[in-house]
Amino acid sequence: MPRYNTPFEIHVHGEVPLRADVSFEQLQDALKPLWKYAGAKSLATGAASVYEEEPGIRFDAPKHLLQMCWTVPGAEDFRQALDEMCMGLNDLAEVGAPIEVTFYDADFDEEEDGGEDDEAQDDFVIYFVGPTPAAIMQVQRDLLVQDMIGLMERHFDGSELGEVVQAVDKLFERRFDDLVNSMQLGRSPRGPGGAPGGSGHGGGGRKPRHLH
């Protein structure tokens, strides 16, 4: 059913490279938590965003690519739909990929004057999908290195940052070793990001929607 008076406008953005043998029916099943949450009866009817200028959810079959720039009204329970979606996409993804999700406070009006307590209750989350834990860790590592270099190049030359990148690689190598050992012992993987489909949180300020 359509959702009214929901606390958030939730924007989902990302591109996921898919295996060449993935069909529309398989993708529709993997994305069912999203289009069902939107009150649709199929991916075809649920792929449109609430904003006409956003392309919504698209399957580029020739490029084997899932493209998402899609907004839906919702609440905190949408996180469960995202977890279920990630589990489905893990089985279809060719490589690791990030999916950015922003929860915009639907009641916040930037143009209204307010006191110190009148701040948007926005939240920004990155979900990761991929065919294996190693593929997910690789894209997590690449994003972290990109962010760190972007920040540190304000103060250092890029040629000076090799040791920083090596330190990040060692941390991820350690995490991967811990994951392999935990799987061999029959225990659940631990640590930030967790198993495939895990997420990392960020924050600070309102983030503009991506229109592609």
Coil/strand/helix, residue 143: helix
Res 158: pLDDT:
80
Res 204: pLDDT:
42
Burial class (CB in 10 A: 0-12, 13-18, 19+), 134: middle
First to last CA, the chain: 28
Distance of CA 181 to the CA centre of its chain: 27
Helix, strand and coil content of the chain, in percent to the nearest 5, comes to 35, 20, 40
Res 2: pLDDT:
53
Res 190: pLDDT:
35
According to DSSP, the residues that pair with 90 across neighbouring strands are: none
Alpha-carbon span 76 to 165, nearest angstrom: 35
- Mean pLDDT, consecutive 10-residue stretches, the chain (212 aa), reads 74 98 98 97 97 97 98 96 97 97 82 58 93 91 87 85 86 78 50 41 45 40
Res 194: pLDDT:
36
According to DSSP, the residues that pair with 100 across neighbouring strands are: 13, 126
Res 153: pLDDT:
86
Q: What is the pTM of this model?
A: 0.78
Asked if 92 and 25 touch (Cβ cutoff 8 Å), the reply is: no
**Pair of tokens at residue 105:** 């406070």
Alpha-carbon span 184 to 194, nearest angstrom: 16
Res 161: pLDDT:
84
Res 197: pLDDT:
45
